[in-house]
Amino acid sequence: MPHVDIAQRRRDEIVRASLEIFAERGYHATGIADIASALNIGHGTFYRYFRNKRDIVSHVLVHVLERLNDTIRDENPGSADTLEECLAQFVRVGEKLFAVFTEEPALGRFFFAEALGVDRDFTRALTAGLNTFGGVTQSYLVNGVAKGFLRDDLDVGVTARAINGMILAAAIDAFDGKDPDVVRTRWLTSAPDLILRGIRA
């Protein structure tokens, strides 16, 4: 068991270092030597855990999506019984997203600036991850329609995508060199109210 733990820790270290380097230099400009040098390890150590650069970037994407999933894991989309409760859920998720992107700026740079440029298969994997988040957002809306505090004619699929687009725009602001406290306050004051007041029953 200790051997497994050590191996997993090393894999995690390589993934985190790769995320930082991909975010700073870009995927295509980064070589295995850059990652190995940052960790002060040999090429052989890298290849013990990952087949190549394409393999490591796939693991980086999994890491990024898991971190984003952490922001929604504690919320139950079906628990809100009123518009105000649903609004509070969106604000809590937004707070967690802002924390992730301000505390880990490399995650945001990779996700928004580098991930789409890897290759088509990677783009499909990224899109699948985004669609998963879209499905979660949609479940909040389905709950609201079912309980009568959101409009019964609401296109929950399109609206969920629109909400996620707004969330991603806010996240871009969060790591774009602006004052994170100002950005967070502005978005979390304006966006949730705009989203939900516009689709209330």
Are residue 99 and residue 155 in the same domain, yes or no?
A: yes
Based on the fold, state whether residues 47 and 84 are members of the same structural domain. no
Q: Which two tokens stand for residue 136?
A: 């979660």
User: 121 is in which domain, residue-wise?
Assistant: 58-197
Query: Does one domain contain both 48 and 78?
Result: no
pLDDT band at 2; cut points 50, 70, 90: low
Residue 182, pLDDT > 60, answer: yes
Q: Do 50 and 148 lie in a common domain? A: no
Contact 60, 22 (CB under 8 A): yes
Is the domain of 19 the same as that of 118? Answer: no
With a cut of 70, say whether residue 124 has pLDDT above it.
Answer: yes
Q: Tell me: the pLDDT tens digits for 107-116?
A: 988 988 888 8
Reported as a pLDDT band with limits 50, 70 and 90, residue 72 is confident
Write down which residue in 56, 72, 94 finishes a domain. Answer: 56
Residue type (1 letter), 108: G
38: number of Cβ within 10 Å: 16
Which residues, in sequence order, are CB contacts of 7 under 8 Å at separation 6+?
A: 49
Residues 7 and 34 grouped into a single domain: yes
Residue pair 109/177 in contact by the 8 Å Cβ criterion: no
Is the pLDDT at 82 greater than 90? The verdict is yes
Domain CATH code at residue 111: 1.10.357.10
Q: For the chain, what is the domain count?
A: 2
Instruction: Give the pLDDT confidence score for residue 201 in this predicted structure.
Output: 67
Reduced to 3 states, what is the DSSP secondary structure of residue 101?
Answer: helix
Question: 19 with 62, same domain?
Answer: no
Q: Can you give the pLDDT at residue 177?
A: 64
pLDDT for residue 1 is more than 60:
no
Regarding whether 43 and 72 lie in a shared domain, the answer is no
Average pLDDT over residues 47-67: 95
One domain, residues 77 and 21: no
Q: Which residue has the higher pLDDT, 31 or 180?
A: 31
- pLDDT tens digits for range 185-194: 888 788 877 7
Among 56, 80, 98, the domain-final residue is 56
Q: Rounded to an integer, what distance in angstroms lies between the CA atom of residue 132 and that of residue 199? A: 22
